[in-house]
Structure 1
Amino acid sequence: MARRWQLALGVNLLLGIPAVVPIWLLWYMASNWPLAELGLTTGEPTENDGILPWLLFAGPVIALFGLLWWLANRPLRRGTTLSPARYWALSVLATLSPTLVLIVIS
């Protein structure tokens, strides 16, 4: 049980598949609200309802996925010999990898 980082990698890769949705919601919300106001992106011109509808819709989706991800990784972290920083870096990168693959191939 001491070297279960492969299990953590696999679990986080599988969690990365549904993570595409909350990651996209975060990007869409950021690109249309704070980044567009700062002039870093061009927001969607018809997206003029403000941030409240996005918080009501995307907030629960992102919070639910974050809770699921944390609850899945907490027991896995205890079963590895990796340092906490390396474990969480592995987990975040493995979870982001399906989204990065979709960005690269599109």
Structure 2
Amino acid sequence: MTRRWAAALGANLLLGIPAVVPVWLLWFLASSLVTGPEPEENDGMAVWVVIATVVVGLYALLWSTVNRSLARRSSLAPRTYWLVSVLATLLPTTALIIYSP
């Protein structure tokens, strides 16, 4: 049973590495909407919204597919499994934020 739990944790840590891109895109969109676009930016945010929607949607599909198959075989309770999965996925992004210059 421990192997199945460790496999889920390892898979989510590995999925957290490419998750840096969708998390950054979401942060970029949120910060741009709050602060407003730069005065010389003439293209608007529509292109970035389309790109972010595709990237985040594809990543969410991959993440949910992997985790649904692993959740069925895990020894953890469902609530604990999903909490550990989300936190393990966000760990590489958090490490980059903490250790960035």
Shorter-normalised TM-score: what interval? Answer: 0.7 to 0.9
Return 5+ residue gaps in structure 2 as ranges.
Answer: none
- Measured against aligned partners, the alpha-carbon deviations of 1:42-100 in whole angstroms (never above 9, x if no partner) come to 34524564442122111111000000000110110001121111101100000000000
> What amino acid is aligned across from residue 72 of structure 2 in structure 1?
R
Instruction: Name the CA distance, whole Å, in 1 between partners of 2:98 and 2:37.
Output: 23
In the alignment, structure 1 segments of 5+ residues that lack a partner are 37-41
Q: 1 or 2, which has the higher helix percentage?
A: 2
The residue that corresponds to 2:55 in the other structure is 61
- Establish whether residue 81 from structure 1 lines up as the match of residue 78 from structure 2: no
* Residues in 2 aligned to 1:71 and 1:26: alpha-carbon distance in whole angstroms: 21
Q: Distance in 2 between matches of 1:91 and 1:47?
A: 38
Paired positions, count: 98
Kept after mapping to 1: 8 A contact 2:37/2:44: no
TM-score, normalization by structure 2: 0.88
Aligned counterpart, 1:20: 20
**Residue 5 (structure 1) shift:** 1.2
Name the amino acid aligned to 1:18: P
TM-score for both structures, normalised by structure 1: 0.84
**Contact 2:13-2:91 within 8 A present in 1 as well:** yes
Relative distance call for 1:31 and 1:48 in structure 2 (3 A) is farther
